[in-house]
């Protein structure tokens, strides 16, 4: 188990997904102090020649507050409006904080045609590669103002949530590691909300039907993804040769701790991970295969 953890130190291209619960306080208001801490950690990694792509939630939540709504909108149009307002504010905050650290960000708003359309897929990959080459930090979210997949969240949706989106991004850019940060410490052998003896599974080499059955719903009112979406993300990432960590993001420093090989959260192992990581590195920047 220690060898698996220590191998994460070699990760160069890393996708970090931050959930809404990590960006807001208990009242649902934006937690600027925590965002600032996330920015410092990611900036430090970039300064170490790591390539970090940030997948962030929070646009609808922030837009809800900015528009003065008492609660999250229930209509699709209301959520789209909140997303439009909230995305501007969210990117303004990230831009301001990253600029203080000497880094430039690039906004990437994606829709499902990224994986359904060959040309769009190639263009998005090229955009990611160019941003990373220029030393910019791509910040990704689903384009909720034109795509309602995440807002509706139903079956047979390509994204549907930012857990899945982050896994697809990690697959597209051939990342070494996907870190999904949430309000849970990892994947448990049973629901910790109902079983006080539930234990975190530190290393997961295969997602079993039993694990899928035990996966619960969203743990907070502010987020859209529960354990089911995180298992789905792990499947997507692992099948593309990308290792995935699920951990609690209440302390942004957890990102550095994970990359230091510490025993944190649940590590979903891709098979064969070491060989795939090397293959990913060798294939980066090449034109995607036509399909």
Per-run averaged pLDDT (10 residues), the chain, 291 residues: 81 95 83 96 97 94 89 89 93 97 96 82 95 96 68 48 93 96 90 84 90 64 63 94 95 96 94 57 56 37
Residue 289 within a domain: no
CATH number of the domain bearing residue 56: 3.40.1160.10
Residue 192 within a domain: yes
- The backbone torsions φ and ψ at residue 20, rounded to the nearest 5 degrees and listed phi first, read -55, -40
> What pLDDT sits at residue 290?
37
> What pLDDT sits at residue 247?
96
Residue 198 within a domain: yes
Residue 288 within a domain: no
Residue 224 within a domain: yes
> What pLDDT sits at residue 220?
44
Range of the domain at 8: 2-283
Q: How far apart are CA 247 and CA 181, in angstroms?
A: 5
> What pLDDT sits at residue 286?
57
> What pLDDT sits at residue 149?
53
Q: How far apart are CA 186 and CA 191, in angstroms?
A: 11
What are the angstrom distances between the C-alpha of 77 and each of 29, 144, 146, 235?
A: 22, 10, 10, 32
| pTM > 0.75 | yes
Q: How many domains are contained in the chain?
A: 1
């Amino acid at each position: 188990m220690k060898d698996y953890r220590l191998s994460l130190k070699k990760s160069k291209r890393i996708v970090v997904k931050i959930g809404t619960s990590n960006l807001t306080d208990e009242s649902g208001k934006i937690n600027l102090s925590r965002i600032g801490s996330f920015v410092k950690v990611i900036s430090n990694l970039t300064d170490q020649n790591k390539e970090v792509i940030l997948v962030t939630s929070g646009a609808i939540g922030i837009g809800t507050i900015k528009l003065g709504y008492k609660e999250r909108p229930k209509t699709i149009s209301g959520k789209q409006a909140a997303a439009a307002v909230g995305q501007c504010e969210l990117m303004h905050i990230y831009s301001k904080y990253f600029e203080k650290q000497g880094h430039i960000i690039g906004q990437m708003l994606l829709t499902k045609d990224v994986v359904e359309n060959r040309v769009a897929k190639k263009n998005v990959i090229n955009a990611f590669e160019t941003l990373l080459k220029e030393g910019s930090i791509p910040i990704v979210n689903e384009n909720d103002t034109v795509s309602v997949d995440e807002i509706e969240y139903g079956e047979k949706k390509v994204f549907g949530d930012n857990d899945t989106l982050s896994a697809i991004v990690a697959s597209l850019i051939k990342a070494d590691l996907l870190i999904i940060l949430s309000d849970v410490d990892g994947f448990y052998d049973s629901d910790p909300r109902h079983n006080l003896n539930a234990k975190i599974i530190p290393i997961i080499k295969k997602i079993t039907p039993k694990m899928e059955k035990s996966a619960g719903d969203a743990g907070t009112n502010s987020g859209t993804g529960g354990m089911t979406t995180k298992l789905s993300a792990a499947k997507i990432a692992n099948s593309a040769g990308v290792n995935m960590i699920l951990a609690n993001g209440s302390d942004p420093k957890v990102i550095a701790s994970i990359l230091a090989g510490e025993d944190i959260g649940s590590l979903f192992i891709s098979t064969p991970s070491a060989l795939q990581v090397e293959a990913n590195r060798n294939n980066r920047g090449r034109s995607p295969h036509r399909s």
